[in-house]
A and B are shown apart, each in its own frame.
Chain A
Amino acid sequence: MAEVLQKPTVEEIVSKLNSDCPCVNVTRTETRRVYATAPRENSFQVCKYIHDNLTFEHCSTVIGVDYVDHMTVVYHLTNYYTGVMIELSVDIPADDLHIESVTPIWEGANWHERETWELFGIVFDNHPKLQRLLTPDTYEFFPFRKSYKLRGSE
């Protein structure tokens, strides 16, 4: 069992991530903010490590972004003892929109993942209930993708 830090500082988070999760690439840091990227294959393990060993108890959001050639899933994670936030970005190739769900770790990610699925078509594997939430069940398209045009002005 690895060491559990309840109140990690930004420097501790960076050094811990570098030593224990070599796949994570910390891109930049600010006061109480850590920005990192991770490959899709390891995203679940990285999230589990951040939750279990760095005590990030709260998942603020799961965000999908459509960059046309690929999509990105962004997690915002919060430590309630120090107020430090980690922004974890995971790139997904456009032809294989699958990523492991983090709902088993943070229950609060449940609806955010459902929303990201219905608006972008990113499939979260092992999600307990991946059904449409905001849009009607009859929708057969994903309205927030860049290929879905809004009016003529775009």
Chain B
Amino acid sequence: MMTDSIVPVKEMEDRMDTDKMWVIMGPQHPFSHGLWTLKVQLDGEIVTDAEPIVGYLHRGWEKETENRTYPKIIPMADRLCYAASMTYTHLYCMTVEKALGIDIPEKAKYIRIVADEVCRIQSHLMWLAAVGTDLGNLTVFLWCMREREFFLDLNVKLCGARMTTNYPRIGGVRNDTTELFDRDIIRAVDRFEKAMWDIIALIDDSSIFVSRMKDISFLTREQCANMGLTGPAMRGCGVDFDIRRDDPYDNYDQVDFEVPVLTKGDSYSRYMIRIEEMFQSCDIIRQAVKKIQALGKNAPYRIKTPSKVPAGTAFTRLEDPRGESLMYLVSDGTDKPYRLKVRSPIFTNVSTSKAMCLGCRIADVPAILAQIDMCLGETDR
């Protein structure tokens, strides 16, 4: 990690008597993308210890749900993560359906897949925009936000809202796809795939970007699995696992897609995985839209469900844009949950920031932690 150093840091350190120093980055810091603090211990420029501090946004989400009936929790689940709200609502509805022991209509499953993948692209674009600002290139930010706008428009077309969509329902989805939605989504995806190459060229041809991500912050496969790092960051470190492929939910086993995996494990490979995932999402969208068209206009998209959930426990998990998210529901037979636990991927990913930053320079810390794709709504819950 220090091999490319121009200044002979090591020799100078031996001659000098230096003290270690704690630097507190956050909660109001441009790199944090929300309210959290990273305490880093520095020896000169090199990070020797790091401790993330979260909890500024803790609002007792899980406790709040114990006071609400099942349908009332759907809009709350949207607010867990503003960048990919549909995945959490999807997860919540899936968990309640599992507890009820019901199977939803085929069409609803495919619509949920489309909605999820649109959210994934949206969320990854937001992440790429954040990477751009973190590494000092505002053009990347503006171009990503422009592309994201087309996918937010698709959300509007589907359910009328841009970000907090309130769209999946227990037993299906709220409404059928609107008129010409399938035409618009294919257009948006085709356009996006071309436009994405401009952004990639902007980043990969820039030595500033590449040199600040390549060959820093190495993680091994074993470290990754043991620390609980999930999602694109994990696949950039060599763990060949994607819940959509290896533990399929809804109809993900009916669509064909690749799971990108890189074994190098540095910051740059974690970046590459997310870029490739966006292209794979486009493929999934095309296939799912075809399946929706094949099912016809009058296929059912929602079934009626009882308001009370039988006593027992149930859990489901899905591949969030940021990693593995899981919900665990304990029901006591009434119309309110007894306990609802959310496993947020970022909560665990951010706890690994010490391992990620160790041995790197302080100037690289924002570039490394940008690969976590921080979202505080789900971290603190």
Contacts and interface: CB of A to CB of B under 8 A. Distances in A.
Contacts of B338: 65
B58 interface: yes
B60 A143 contact: yes
Given A74-B328, A106-B226, A143-B63, A61 B239 contact: no
B174 interface: no
Nearest to B324: A60
A39 interface: no
Contacts of B343: 60-61, 76, 112
B94 to A, nearest CB: 14
A150 B63 contact: yes
Interface residues of B, number: 39
A66 B64 CA distance: 15
19 contacts: A32-B247, A57-B222, A58-B226, A65-B338, A76-B343, A78-B324, A80-B225, A83-B241, A85-B247, A87-B315, A108-B228, A108-B229, A112-B343, A112-B348, A115-B347, A133-B55, A148-B63, A150-B63, A153-B67
B228 A106 contact: yes
B332 to A, nearest CB: 9
B23 interface: no
A82 interface: yes
A47 interface: no
B272 interface: no
Interface in B214-267: 222, 225-230, 239-241, 243, 246-247
Contacts of B286: none
Contacts of A144: 60, 62-63
A88 to B, nearest CB: 12
Contacts of B330: 65
Contact of A63 (B60, B328, B347): B328
B326 interface: yes
In the complex, which of the residues B241, B247, B341, B352 has the most CB atoms of chain A within 10 Å of its own CB atom? Answer: B341
A110 B58 CA distance: 18
Contacts of A115: 347
A57 B237 CA distance: 15
Given A76-B326, A107-B227, A108-B348, A150 B66 contact: yes
Interface string A100-118: 0000001111111001000
A150 B67 contact: yes
Given A61-B326, A61-B341, 17 more contacts: A57-B225, A60-B317, A60-B324, A61-B328, A65-B338, A65-B341, A76-B326, A80-B241, A108-B226, A108-B229, A111-B347, A134-B54, A143-B60, A144-B60, A150-B63, A150-B66, A154-B67
Interface in B55-100: 55, 58, 60, 62-64, 66-67
The 4 closest A-B pairs by CB, nearest first: A108-B228, A83-B246, A57-B225, A83-B247
Interface of B: 54-55, 58, 60, 62-64, 66-67, 222, 225-230, 239-241, 243, 246-247, 313, 315, 317, 324, 326, 328, 330, 338-339, 341, 343, 347-348, 351-352, 380-381
B55 A135 contact: yes
A76 B315 contact: yes
A50 interface: no
A65 B339 contact: yes
Contacts of B328: 61, 63, 74, 76
Contacts of A60: 228, 317, 324, 326, 343
B228 A83 contact: no
A25 B82 CA distance: 41
A59 interface: yes
Contacts of B226: 57-58, 106-108
A111 B339 contact: no
A111 B348 contact: yes
A133 B64 CA distance: 19
A111 B63 contact: no
